[in-house]
Structure 1
Amino acid sequence: MRTAVIGIVIGSVVGVMLGTTVIAPRLTPEASKAAIKQAKDGAEAEKVDVEKEHQEIIMPPAGPTRAVIRWRMASAYASSMPLLGSMAKRIGKNIWEVSDGGIEIKMFEPGQMVPTEDMFEAVASGAIEAAFSSPALWDGKAPAVALFASVPFGPSPDEYMAWYYFGGGSTLMLDIYRKQGIHSIACGMTAPAAAGWFRRAFTTPDDLNGIKMRTRGLTADVMGKLGVTAIDLKEADIFMAFEDGRIDAAEFSLPVIDAQLGFHDMAGHYYFPGWHRPATFFELMINKDKWDALPRSKKSQIETVCGDNVRFGLAESEAAQYEALKELTSKGVKIKRWPAQIMTAMQDAWRTVAAEKATADADFRIVWRSLSDFRKNYEVWKELSRP
């Protein structure tokens, strides 16, 4: 019995081997045709059927060409600018990779497609599909959007992200932008900014009275309460404004960016902390109709890239400041902290500004209340968890 079983097994194996090594290679279209010709009944009909079957197997019909989504993205920041330019460039590169070539977002330098100040309208109207910017640039369109960029004496980066992603901030931001025809996504973040460059030192709040300073937005409103004349200038015009006397102070960004722009050649006192921007969000604005037309998978890919850009921007900006400060001090820059009484005066001025804005604009009031309530509750966790 055992011998018989072995014989059966050996016979099966040999049969399989013959099938795979001798018979199978012969089962080509040509061999099949010869076999069909030798069939006694229905030779021609069977030949046609078998040939058709083999053609379908060997030469499958080509699938439809995949459509690539191609968008133009204007940037408020030059690609050569540290941090901000890096974040802008990463959007196009990363979305191409994440989407496996399904989404192409081409970055254009400031002013190359539209003037920076016109990017909001260009995206809303569909003249361009997207733009990379700071919400702070559009407070003239909707005052509340400034609170999605940075908040004077506001939350640190971790607290700001907690409110935006899980405290209702992102929903409020979408509601405001979509009324304007834009879908906006947080798409970058930087560490605390410097407070600004000044040509002399200060000891009391009264010392600020009469200063002409390049600043804008909520910062300008606060400084105005202390007697500072705020002048809104593009970064390219700040250096010349120092030279011709239009300003004697300026705030712009973090040390690594300020150093490249050369402000230290015009003003030697560099003040901290940047009370006006303890954390700063940047955004990807997308035309609302273009966004709504995307399949869910493409929306998720863009959201994923922007979330990673927030991580990248915050980490890079935190890591880059020491070397920049070291370089600035080697050039004679005096690094200073605001005296306590000036900080107190600025904070009091901010409370007044926030109350005025909330009274004047319903959206500002809603967003400010949401952020304030979140921070009040978060303070419990903050006190318990921080050493």
Structure 2
Amino acid sequence: MKINTGKYLASTALVGALAFTATTANAQENVRWQVPMAFASTLTALGDTMPWVADQLRAMSNGAIDLQVAEPGTVIPALAIFENVSDGNIDAGFSWMGYEWGTVPAAALFGATPFGLESIEFMAWMHFHGGKELLAEVFHPYDVHPILCGTISPETAGWFREEITSVDDFQGIRFRAAGIGGEIMAEFGMSVTVMPGGELYQALETGVLDGTEFSLPTVDEQLGFYQVAPYLYLPGWHQPSTNQFLYVNLGVWEGLGDQTKAMIENACWAGTAYSIARAEALQGAVIQRFEESGTNVETYSDEIIAAFHEATKTVMERRSAADELFGRVYASMMEYQAELRPWKEKGYLPRDWQSRIGE
């Protein structure tokens, strides 16, 4: 039998070419980024989300996507993530969105909006009500592509060295706050400053600060605020959610393949779910420990909350008038909050339903 070697060789070459093409198409590109963080990885539910996301990416990509997280201050200053990603000094970083609001006013709304969206609501708005598109519009002009990569429960409203009984008590208080909440607090005569978390204990202990807000009860406990400020006030009206983002240089992001982008985005989806679940799992026990240690855990009076709400409207109107994009982002959030209200008020049990029925 005579073999047609020409046809055989051609078929073999075709099979080899197809196999090479398939292998190339499925090959995972290598990504090696150092990712400085704004928060220490030891801070539960605040700083440990990005390391968890990085671990998931290494596992999913068999090590091809390796994001090496860096602790605050080891590569760049803790509060300088945005500008360094924007300038291309680093490929990516992980931070709360809001530290850059002096440069990008609308950024603070994505980090936390006083009397605004809670974590699950924020996720819904971001992914299904136009938030993601607005985020790109805000940040892409600065060559930054942010990806929602974490969200946690409300912060504590504030730790104080002295008792707060009325809005008059805020006058002259030296207080640490960040983002829009800080501007609102200044409306009450508070002297507001921004300081990294690691400096706050000593500032409270020495009287440099009269009070501070920073994060969740778990984080506040780790930082030891209860040892130097005996009054803790809730609820966290200024940050109903605290939203963290993986900041990626826009040029670097656009240079990635679709498969790599999808893996990073999905890992951040998982990180967002991980962070809110972890946050909610831990806070009740911490509040109990605060009370057992002698901390005065108080709820702001209705009058104080109403005053904060009025001041919030004043600040938001002023900021919206001064910055068109800020105004559009805030309006989008508030429209969604109003749309959701009938469901939120009627679809869920009231938060105090157990005390209402005597249990």
Which residue of 1 is the match for residue 105 of structure 2? 143
Aligned residue among 127, 146, 152 for 1:165: 127
Residue in 1 that maps onto 2:345: 383
Stretches of structure 2 that go unaligned for 5 or more consecutive residues are: 350-359
Superposition TM-score, scaled by structure 2 size: 0.88
Tell me which stretches of 4 or more aligned residues in structure 1 moved more than 3 Å.
Answer: 63-67
Is the aligned partner of 1:301 residue 2:263?
yes
From 184, 188, 193, the counterpart of 1:226: 188
Tell me, yes or no, if the aligned pair for 1:177 and 1:184 is still in contact at 8 Å.
Answer: yes
Establish whether residue 80 from structure 1 lines up as the match of residue 27 from structure 2: no
3-state SS of paired residue (2:207)? coil
Shift in Å at residue 304 of structure 1? Answer: 0.4
- SS of 1:84's equivalent in the other structure is coil
Contact 2:92 2:246 in 1 (8 A): yes
2:355 aligned partner? none
Partner of 1:184: helix, strand, or coil? Answer: strand
Partner of 1:321: 283
- Deviation string 1:269-295 (CA, Å, 9 cap, x unpaired) is 000001101111110000101110111
How far apart are residue 205 of structure 1 and its match? 1.4
Which whole-Å deviations, capped at 9, do the CAs of 1:193-213 have from their partners, x for residues lacking one?
110101222222112212111
1:314-371 Cα distance to aligned partner (Å, 9 max, x none): 0110111122122222221110000111111111000000001101111101101111
CA distance in structure 2 between the aligned counterparts of 1:383 and 1:321, rounded to whole angstroms:
23
**What is the alpha-carbon distance in structure 2 between the residues aligned to residue 179 and residue 82 of structure 1?**
33
Partner of 1:355: 317
Which residue matches 2:74?
112
Question: More helix by proportion, 1 or 2?
Answer: 1
Instruction: Report SS of the residue matched to 2:48.
Output: helix
C-alpha distance in 1, partners of 2:275/2:186? 31
Equivalents in 2 of 1:283, 1:175: separation in Å? 15
Query: Which one of the candidate residues 331, 336, 339 is aligned to 1:374?
Result: 336
Query: In the alignment, which residue of structure 1 is the partner of 2:206?
Result: 244
Give the secondary structure class of the aligned counterpart of 2:79: helix
- Residue 341 of structure 1 corresponds to 303
Map Cα deviations across residues 208-231 of structure 1 (whole Å, 9 max, x no partner).
Answer: 212111112211111111111112
The structure 1 residue matched to 2:170, chosen from 183, 191, 208, is 208
Structure 2 distance, partners of 1:102, 1:342, is 52
Aligned 1:279-298 pairs, distance under 5 A: 279-298=241-260
What is the distance in 2 between the residues matched to 1:155 and 1:305? 23
The yes-or-no answer on 1:255 pairing with 2:217 is: yes
Summarize deviations over 1:250-276 as a string: whole Å, max 9, x none: 111111100110111111000000110
Return the match for 1:311 from 258, 262, 273: 273
Secondary structure (helix, strand or coil) at the match of 1:246 reads coil
User: What percent of counterpart residues are identical?
Assistant: 32
In structure 2, the residue matched to 1:26 is none
Larger radius of gyration: 1
- Which amino acid letter does the alignment assign opposite residue 91 of structure 1? V
Aligned pairs, how many? Answer: 338
Structure 2 distance, partners of 1:342, 1:106, is 44
Give the residue type in structure 1 aligned to 2:336.
F
- In the alignment, structure 1 segments of 5+ residues that lack a partner are 1-38
Q: SS of 1:81's equivalent?
A: coil
- Please report how far the alpha carbon of residue 67 of structure 1 lies from its aligned counterpart in structure 2 after TM superposition: 4.4
CA contact (8 A) 1:77 1:88 kept: no
Letter in 2 for 1:168: G
Residue 191 of structure 1: CA displacement? 0.7
TM-superposed CA distance for 1:163, in Å, is 1.0
Provide the C-alpha distance between the structure 1 equivalents of 2:53 and 2:121, rounded to a whole number of angstroms. 24
- Out of 123, 133, 139, the position equivalent to 2:95 is 133
Q: Which residue of 1 aligns with 2:155?
A: 193
Residue 125 of structure 1: CA displacement?
2.2
Distance in 1, matches of 2:113 and 2:327, equals: 14
Q: In 1, Cα distance between the equivalents of 2:186 and 2:76?
A: 31
TM-score, normalised via structure 1 length: 0.82
